[in-house]
Each structure stands twice: as structure tokens, then as C-alpha cells.
């Protein structure tokens, strides 16, 4: 089958990560995959996994551009997300009489009415609460599908033996910088208890300079260069490999836990250390990204110190490591691709049947 996903740009975020992993898995399963969006940091990665990146102009010129491409390269299924270029994707799918699948990865907004959500041929979400909300809205169960969120998995090297490396990784945006701010504010107190502490802040966004300024103040209070502010990365697992403990929310925290690194879930809202027995609860709130509980430096300090102390004892450390078996479902990209593949085949068969009967 031939899939085309239409988005704004190849920027680094959870939605693009989801699509990259899905696209790679679909290509490995023998399908064609086009990512139609403006260029961005992740553009090379789409090409590296065998997907085609159709570099588009900004809206509304992209619709004309993609339409022109489709006339010589027809696609079987149109994909989009509940944000971004949803309307453009659906208009093109309808114009070319092809089925559409919309991935709904964020909580529903007031403007996400039943009429709006019924427009795609199928809705797919990786979050149980969103799935429940779709059904509550009135979306028929046969139109909505709940799938496990695909996760990168690779064998990581053992964590560093010398020192204690703490990694924060995530967006430093206006609405998501409370967690890294609380961490930076907590560093002087943590450093008093853990003198060997070294902290890396990896990410970018509107609050990068503000975080860098706070880090400078914290370093002066510590009397040494404890915190480094790195900026954006295209290799999150590489940074996690070099860390003893990860602080993150959403996709980044999920990847850390899934790949065996101890982690503190801190996204839009505070969750705290992820340990044996709490993985299901962390998944339900997308590792803090679906919680409204605010962040406090004291909570961050106490959590980091508690996990650090536990990691010194192999028995206690087992509460925070090797937690992949705690995930209730198969989060491999291939499992996600199989579900989308089956759904797409059903939609294509239905569309062909409708066209035949219409004729």
C-alpha cells in the first residue's frame, strides 16, 4: 500500500516521532510512505528509514503542491493528526476519493465536535482517555481504534559508573518549561547531598535562554559548572545512555523507562519517579503530560535524591530499572504498523466497494 502523511513541518516533537516510527515500520513491511511537510530537523531521518519526504510550502500553497504530486503519484491512504494540516489532508483525501486515517494524540478540544471527528474515515489514538472521550462524544466504536504508542527500543550501554549524571530532555516551550525550571532550581540543594552530580539540559524552545540564565545562577550557587544547557538533539537515546537518571515527560520519559533507564516523569504536570508497579499509571497520564499537578523544586530535589540513594543498592535499584515487562502491551513500531496496515486494508476495500456500487 501507499501511505501519505500530511503535516506542517519535520520538527522535533512527540507527534513527529510517532509518525517517524510508524513510517519506518510500514516501509519495513513493504509499503510506501510519503511524509509531506516543510523541512525540519527530522527530515534526514525520514529519508534514512526509507520514507520519502515531500518538502512542501506553507499553507495554503502546500495543498496545490501536494495535489499536483498526487496526480502522478496516486496514494492509497491519507494520514494526518488531530493538529497541523488535518483539513488539508482530509480535503485532498476527499478530492482523490481515498480513505483517511486521523491520529488523535492530544486531549479533545472544544472545537473537536462530533461533526469534525466524524469527517475522517477512521480515528486512531494511543491514549485510553482520548479513546474514551471519542466514544463519549458519540464517535461509533467501529470508527475509533486504540493502539499502543510505538517506542524506539535499543540495547543501551550500562550507565556511567563514575559520578552521577542527570539528564533532562524535552521541549523548553512556554507551556512546558515548569519541569526543567523546577529541576534547575533544585540543583543547588541536590548538589549538597550529591557532590558528584552533573546535569545536562537537552531541548530547545522559547524558554531556552531563560533556562540557561537560571542554570548560570544555579552553577554560581553550587560553586562549579554542575549544569550544562545543550540545546536540541536528534539522538535522545544516545543522551539517555550517558545518564544515570532521566527527568522527562511524555514520549522522552516513556523511551527512557522502556529502555531500562531510571526516570522521573515530569511533563506538563508532575508525576514523580516511575517504579515497578506505577508504570500503568504513568502510561495513563503519558508520563506527566496529561496531569495538571504543578511542579515544585522541593519535589524534584526529594525525588532525585531518593532515586539516587536507591540506585546504590541493587535490591532497591530494581524498582526503577528493567521495567519493559511492566508495559501491558507490545509497543514495538511493527505492532503499531500492523494495526494501521489492517485498518487501511479494510478502508480501501470498503472504498472500492462503495465506488463500485456507486457506478
Secondary structure letter of residue 142 according to DSSP:
G
Residues 235 and 255: beta-carbon distance below 8 Å: no
Q: What is the bridge-based pairing of β-strands 270-273 and 263-266? A: antiparallel
Alpha helices, H only, 78-222: 86-95, 114-117, 128-137, 178-193, 208-222
C-alpha cell at 43: 527530515
Distance CA 187, CA 194 (A): 10
Provide the pLDDT confidence category of residue 11 given band limits of 50, 70 and 90: confident
Between 60-64, 198-202, 217-221, the lowest mean confidence (pLDDT) is in 60-64
Beta bridge partners, 146, equal 125
pLDDT digits (tens, 9 = 90+) for 126-166: 999 999 999 999 999 999 999 999 999 988 999 988 999 99
Secondary structure letter of residue 106 according to DSSP:
S
Residue 121 has pLDDT above 50, yes or no: yes
CB within 8 Å of 356: residues ≥ 6 apart? none
Handedness of CA 183, 184, 185, 188 (dihedral sign): positive
Terminal Cα-to-Cα distance of the chain (whole angstroms) = 24
**Count of other CB atoms within 10 angstroms of residue 338:** 16
Ramachandran quadrant class, 41 (left: phi over 0; alpha: psi -120 to 50; beta: rest): alpha
Q: What is the bridge-based pairing of β-strands 52-55 and 32-38? A: parallel
Provide the pLDDT confidence category of residue 353 given band limits of 50, 70 and 90: low
Q: What is the mean pLDDT of the chain?
A: 93
Provide mean pLDDT across the span 342-358.
80
C-alpha cell at 84: 497541523
State whether residue 143 is helix, strand or coil: helix
Find cell 477512521 and name the residue.
Answer: 122
pLDDT digits (tens, 9 = 90+) for 53-68: 999 988 888 999 999 9
Secondary structure letter of residue 332 according to DSSP:
-
What per-residue confidence (pLDDT) applies to 182? 98
What per-residue confidence (pLDDT) applies to 359? 47
pTM score, whole prediction? 0.92
C-alpha cell at 27: 516501509
Query: Which domains, ranges and CATH numbers included, belong to the chain?
Result: 2-150+333-358 (3.40.50.2000), 164-326 (3.40.50.2000)
Amino acid at each position: 500500500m501507499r501511505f501519505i502523511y500530511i503535516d506542517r513541518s519535520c520538527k522535533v516533537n512527540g507527534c513527529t516521532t510517532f509518525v517517524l516510527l510508524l513510517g519506518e515500520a510500514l516501509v519495513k513491511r513493504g509499503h510506501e510512505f510519503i511524509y509531506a511537510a516543510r523541512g525540519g530537523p527530522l527530515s534526514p531521518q525520514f529519508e534514512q528509514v526509507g520514507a520519502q519526504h515531500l518538502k512542501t510550502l506553507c499553507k495554503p500553497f502546500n495543498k496545490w503542491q501536494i495535489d499536483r504530486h498526487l496526480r502522478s503519484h496516486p496514494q492509497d491512504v491519507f494520514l494526518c493528526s488531530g493538529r497541523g494540516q488535518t483539513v488539508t489532508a482530509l480535503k485532498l483525501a476527499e478530492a482523490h476519493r481515498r480513505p483517511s486515517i486521523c491520529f488523535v494524540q492530544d486531549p479533545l478540544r472544544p472545537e473537536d465536535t462530533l461533526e469534525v471527528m466524524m469527517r475522517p474515515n477512521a480515528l486512531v489514538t494511543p491514549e485510553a482517555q482520548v479513546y474514551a472521550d471519542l466514544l463519549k462524544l458519540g464517535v461509533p466504536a467501529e470508527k475509533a481504534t486504540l493502539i499502543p504508542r510505538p517506542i524506539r527500543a535499543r540495547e543501551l550501554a550500562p550507565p556511567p559508573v563514575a559520578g552521577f549524571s542527570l539528564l533532562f530532555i524535552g521541549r523548553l516551550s512556554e507551556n512546558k518549561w515548569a519541569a526543567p525550571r523546577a529541576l534547575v532550581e533544585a540543583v543547588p540543594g541536590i548538589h549538597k547531598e550529591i557532590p558528584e552530580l552533573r546535569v545536562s539540559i537537552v531541548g530547545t524552545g522559547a524558554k531556552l535562554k531563560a533556562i540557561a540564565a537560571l542554570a548560570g545562577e544555579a552553577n554560581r550557587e553550587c560553586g562549579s559548572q554542575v549544569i550544562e544547557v545543550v540545546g536540541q538533539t536528534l539522538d535522545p537515546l544516545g543522551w539517555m545512555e550517558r545518564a544515570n537518571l532521566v527527568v522527562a515527560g511524555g514520549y522522552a520519559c516513556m523511551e527512557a523507562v522502556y529502555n531500562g533507564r531510571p526516570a522521573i516523569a515530569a511533563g506538563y504536570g508532575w508525576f514523580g519517579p516511575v517504579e515497578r508497579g506505577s508504570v500503568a499509571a504513568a502510561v495513563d497520564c503519558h508520563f506527566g503530560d496529561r496531569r495538571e499537578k504543578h511542579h515544585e523544586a522541593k519535589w524534584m530535589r526529594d525525588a532525585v535524591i531518593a532515586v539516587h540513594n536507591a540506585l546504590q543498592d541493587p535490591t532497591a535499584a530494581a524498582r526503577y530499572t528493567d521495567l519493559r515487562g511492566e508495559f501491558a502491551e507490545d509497543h514495538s513500531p511493527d505492532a503499531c504498523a500492523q494495526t494501521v496496515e489492517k485498518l487501511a486494508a479494510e478502508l480501501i476495500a470498503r472504498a472500492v466497494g462503495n465506488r463500485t456500487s456507486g457506478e
